[in-house]
Chain A
Amino acid sequence: MKMPTARQRRLRTILFWAVPAILLLVPLGTNAYTQFIVNGMLISTLVTLGFTIVIGNLGQLAFANTAFFGIGAYGSAILAAKLGVPWLLTIPIAGVFGAAGGFLASAAALRGIRSYYLAIITLAFGELMRWSYLHAKPLTGGTDGLPMPRETLFGTSLTDDTVKFYVFLVVTVLLVKATANLLASRFGRAVMAVRENEVATASLAIPTSRVILVTFIWSGFVVGCAGALFARHIGHVFPESFGMLHLIASFAMVLVGGLGSVLGAVLGAVMLTALPEYLRAFPGMEELFFGLIVAAVLVALPMGLASLLRRLSPIFVERFYREAR
């Protein structure tokens, strides 16, 4: 495998910070509508990132991702609407709630429930959470959902998508960077080692149970934070936002971007958030085209868009991800 040279690695680090720096200028070129879409991309990036580390890097068929997302969104909305906690403060708290969800999901994996069985039990967890949002009416508002309270940030109303954008961008960049640090370390290697051969991993003095537990918790934290962003993004949380449709959309983002790749999480989220907007030009055919394009990408690039970039230049070879084989 062609690895990046020292110079390419430096370039990669510069790129990592240059891209968000350039993104600071995005609001100059957007209108209210496109800004809303861009904000959605940032949230999807985090949702995809949290998902991909569990199914790609750790190799566990766990589909509790939408549950983490809903827990984060409702956690944030309940804190803000019922207890008057400033929204900004609810972001890390929602992350902790999501992490608690991750802890629950890992408990199943650690009790030896794996593969298809883990898939079905985590899907059930997601549906149970959705059922809870519907029925815990005093807290969640049931089918009516829960509106986010009006708030101002630095003197600007938090209904303004440009203000939201800057907060979302900072949160996203910090969480992507932290996740990249994690995956590029001995921890990230241990995560992939568990995927490749769990028995052999333990023989190298690596506590495999802890590796699985921490991966789920971190995944839950990232996606829980994304939930808090989402609550502010749409301004009103409804149970329907956290159903199978969201899970399948996130799964598609993971695969289109490239399983287990941080770069892929960003690419998949951006592409599949933007695509439906472009397809509005073909009324009645949107879903068909969407499906065809996703299928075409996966046939042409089974390891996703990130694998295309990796082929173009070793700069895009991540220190922390190797395709399963």
Chain B
Amino acid sequence: MSTGVAEPEKSQALPERPKELAMHFDSLHQQYNAGKLGVWLFLGQELLFFCGLFTAYAVYRGNHQEMFHYAHYFLDWKLGGLNTVVLLTSSLTAAWSVRAAQLEQRKTLIATLVITFLCAAAFMVVKYIEYSHKIHIGAVWSSHFAVADADLPAALTERYPDIKGEDLQRMGMGTFFAIYFCMTGLHGIHVLVGMGLYIWLIIRAVRGDFNRKYYGAVDFVALYWHIVDIIWIFLFPLLYLIG
């Protein structure tokens, strides 16, 4: 190695730098703020990413109100509601984990991170149950939509005794499910990414990386997790609670 040119920090007798502080920042505070601004911008990007789908939803719902009306019978608001509760709980623990990291409460930190992860996993399990049921009865996208009369939701046949699976198919019910699977699928991918991030945080928390001055990663992932949660808060009524 050349003498001290590549790493002049060490040769100069500067006040000691925390090991977490990257070379181009003056203080941990500045580093934290830069990261946080980056995450907020990323969240802005996420909103616009989903915006297109919400616009598509609005256009199709405006054009085909009856289709959305019939479609909502296929979605179980109880399962959706359960998932809403699960996600809200995880948002609480995510926020709690930030507090725990700031106060250097290591056990609480690890516990809240693990609970957040488990809630995310529970959400995906419920999602799996919903998806597999729909795929099983053939309530899927576009021209693939084909539900046998026997598989129609009880609430739907009760309200409209004469309705047949074919009628729904002709009505273009597949378009609703195209939107449904795109929106919830994209959201689901975000939940999976969040789960990965929480595993990473758990590993770092167990290793003892975080302290009262360096807890940015916990904060940033929690912010991301909140936006995933907020998007679901919009998806749930728009898809499940339309009557």
A is bound by B? no
